[in-house]
Amino acid sequence: MLKFFNSLTRKKEDFVSFEKDTVRMYSCGPTVYYYPHIGNMRAYLFMDNIRRVLKYNGYKIDGVMNITDVGHLTSDADEGDDKMLVASARENKSPWEIAKFYTDVFMSDVKRLNIDLPEHICPATSVIDEIIAFVQGLLDRGYAYTTSRGVYFDIAKFPGYGQLGNDVNSKMAGARIEVDSEKRHPADFALWIKAPQNHIMKWDSPWGIGYPGWHIECSAIGKKYLQDHIDIHTGGVDHKTIHHENEIAQADCLEGHKVVKFWMHVEFLQVDGGKMSKSLNNFYTLHDLEERGFDGEDFRYFYFTAHYRKQQNFTFDSLLGARNSLKRLKNLVLEHKNGTNVLPKEKIEAYQNEFLDAVNDDLNMPVALAVVQKLLKEEKSKDVFDLVMKFNQVLGLNFESELEIPKDVLDLAQNRWMAKLEKNWAEADRIREDILKLGYVVKDSKDNYQIEKL
């Protein structure tokens, strides 16, 4: 049975979709005001991981991801300037130019990571009418109110506020916080913000010229494409107690029922055991990794080495280890491609069950990788190759991108291995030299070997 950890209930649950064969899935997308860093990209590898496992289980997916190109202020708590305007001033470009440039960068990065994108990609600026209608619906139902600064959601009207862990009342107790005097509660959040005259990104609305708050876009986009029942909503843990808490409040109040069944969150990526920061000079993008000789697939494999609900620590040594492991894996897979042994049917079924159990146990990719590595220790067999290719529906690795190892090299390596098993060391050494002359090297392990191009 497919099980996911639900942040809403704080436990693993059997996954059953609203519709029998289709999963409606929403994923929080990027704010396109700067280059995405590798910590950001962990969230989209996580999204990809869920999508591939769902498909592996036979589901179709109706997926949506937003592109935040307006309304995300420099503080998640409705404080500061719009990040798009900050970037506009920084680079002396219009907010729309900024959004186009960094959206293209993001799309390039997800392609290099072989991320399976949702079926709908929706910029916030393309759904202003839907956002206005959503806000009006909340006002009509008494869940929102207007001030001189805009329209705010009244969290006191939603008893369920705090389901994901945002205990606003305990946080406010004894705290000295300057709050907009017109807000009824310090945690009330902006649905629509009235724009000053010099504000660049603004639209007309029943409450004056302004722009949407950050949280409302996801609910409006989700409603547009997925209606009022969503099976899975994904994002980073940094979104959980403010952004996603607010999404739950506004969506559930508008629809009159729980909209999202499963909330799933990926943990932070640390760098050298701490937080990623420009000031610490450890802010890395995918381009930075490539400048050091790595590629997107190395980082993709690195992602699989830790469970998504655990913080993962990035170092260049750990990335190098991932790259070397991936290279060994690819070489072993290719060696099996021309294998002549037969893998017994019962073994094939056992490996299939092991792999499925791992990925269906809340995306336990480290265990799934271990199953693949154990499988590749079998005698050289096309059955093994075919089974790895099946598992690759989840892994999304480009096994056949490596240069094909010529059959004569594979044959020599197999003959050398047989000579070693027979303790014919002189013959094994002679064959090794023949392999070297062809531009390859054989590296032995305890019970197997791998072939690498020099």
The pLDDT tens digits for 137-154 are 999 999 999 999 999 999
**Interval 78-83 mean pLDDT:** 81
Q: What are phi and psi of 355, to 5 degrees?
A: -65, -45
In the numeric block, which tokens belong to residue 332?
Answer: 């072993």
Q: What are phi and psi of 396, to 5 degrees?
A: 65, 30
**Interval 157-164 mean pLDDT:** 95
Q: What is the pLDDT of residue 172?
A: 47
Give me Rg for the CA atoms of the chain: 26
Nearest-angstrom CA–CA distance, 162 and 175: 18
Q: At what angle do helices 345-360 and 382-395 cross, to 10 degrees?
A: 10
In the numeric block, which tokens belong to residue 84?
Answer: 């798009």
pTM of the model: 0.88
Comparison of pLDDT for 157 and 399, the residue scoring more: 157
Q: Which residues, in sequence order, are CB contacts of 175 under 8 Å at separation 6+?
A: none
With beta carbons less than 8 A apart as the criterion, state whether 262 and 231 touch. Answer: yes
pLDDT-based confidence at 93, cuts 50/70/90? very high
**In the chain, what's the furthest Cα-to-Cα distance?**
89
The top-level CATH class assigned to 3-266 is alpha beta
pLDDT-based confidence at 251, cuts 50/70/90? very high
